Amino acid sequence: MLDPRLGSLRLLSEQSPYFELLSTCPATGARRGRLHTAHRVVDTPVFMPVGTKGTVKAMSQQELLAMGFPIILGNTYHLYLRPGHELVREAGGLHRFIGWEGSILTDSGGFQVFSLQHIRRIAQDGVRFRSYIDGSQHLFTPERVMEVELALGADIIMAFDECPANPCTHQYALESLGRTHSWAQRCADSYGRLRLEQEWPNPDPKLFGIVQGSIYEDLRAQSADFIASLDTPGIAIGGVSVGESREDVLRVIEWTAPRLPAHKPRYLMGVGTPKDILDSVERGIDMFDCVLPSRLGRNGSAYTSLGRVNLKNQRFTRDFSPLDPNCDCWCCQNYTAAYIRHLYMSDEMLVSRLLTYHNLYFYQTLISGIQTSIEQGCFPAFRDAFLERYEGGDRA
């Protein structure tokens, strides 16, 4: 039984368009939309919790769905290495394997492969790399990645791209972009062919292309135009979570988003903080993912309406108030900041559960507020009120 807060979730058969652009904020580029996937209808803007290896750490799939998340992210690189895409396919696809009733997006693994510089080698045909698990040798080509992602059975699958490190020279970014564009075309060709040749757990996954180009305006423009020409159902902006400044990320969005088709969803990969999300929504972004809510939770930090807090700070030793006085999640309703700090300092497993749950609840509440404010035509006022309280808090 679905939580009533998931009100807009319906089966795909009830609607036909893949993406509906429902409204746009008259004062900004903020968009309110609806994404129809093979498993769910996903209201946008949307935040996707990161379940890299088939789980969002410290959370159950049922908790995520009840909290209001209609879609999560899995990672092709990690799932390919363990447990293996063929095993997942044998289980009936990733949805059945992990017991998830919502939608799934799988990253192609490009970011993971390219971040492991000491155990990979890039060539025009693809990337050779060693497994971090057992040292075995592997080759990811666009064709191989499409095969793996189709076997996993996600609702949205990402093209294989090169994610250049930051900083990098214009010359290297240009060479890298050539590979990304070549691989994107090969992904599209392979995707079309493989879907006809075999049966897969999900018969209708949607392929998204990825815009790259580092922090260079001319390359971002070139990439946006090329990826848009492939006519994939959605388009992602990649390469913005590898060490760029916030200013650079916003510039990349401002260069890229206006060049993308308005009738397709726009996905900003690997971003971000609450302020990042608000700033990006303002510039026309529809989809987000980031490890911060779960990672920071496991490391003793929490997002609250009064700002981010670090429970390692001694000031919370005798703080017998809720973690966030404005939050109604079960963590804040039942436990004090002092108790949660005690759990963290005692290395108790429960603290990861509590803080991860709270952080994700905070993110979903933020996203719901953004959606409503765009619908009601008051997104700028919502953004300003949220940031005034969030950035003016004194509990850090």
Catalytic, out of 43, 107, 276, 324: 107
> Catalytic site residue 107?
yes
Answer yes or no: are the C-beta atoms of 285 and 45 closer than 8 Å: yes
Answer yes or no: are the C-beta atoms of 305 and 389 closer than 8 Å: yes
Tens-digit pLDDT string for the chain (396 aa) = 333 333 333 333 333 489 999 999 999 999 999 999 999 999 999 999 999 999 999 999 999 999 999 999 999 999 999 999 999 999 999 999 999 999 999 999 888 877 777 778 888 889 999 999 999 999 999 999 999 999 999 999 999 999 998 899 999 999 999 999 999 999 999 999 999 999 999 999 999 999 999 999 999 999 999 999 999 999 999 999 888 899 999 999 999 999 999 999 999 999 989 999 999 999 999 999 999 999 999 999 999 999 999 999 999 999 999 999 999 999 999 999 999 999 999 999 999 999 999 999 999 999 999 999 999 999 999 999 999 999 986 555
Return the bridge partners of 208, or none.
Answer: 158, 234
> Catalytic site residue 279?
no
At a CB cut-off of 8 Å and minimum separation 6, what does 118 contact? none
DSSP-assigned letters across all residues of 147-184:
HHHHHHT-SEEEPP-----SS--HHHHHHHHHHHHHHH
At a CB cut-off of 8 Å and minimum separation 6, what does 175 contact? none
Token code pair at residue 341? 């700090």
Classified as helix, coil or strand, 240 is: coil
pTM (2 d.p.) = 0.94
Q: Check residue 312 and report its DSSP letter.
A: T
Catalytic, out of 43, 276, 279, 289: 289
Q: Which of 99, 104, 53, 47 is CA-nearest to residue 75? A: 53
Token code pair at residue 75? 């990672």
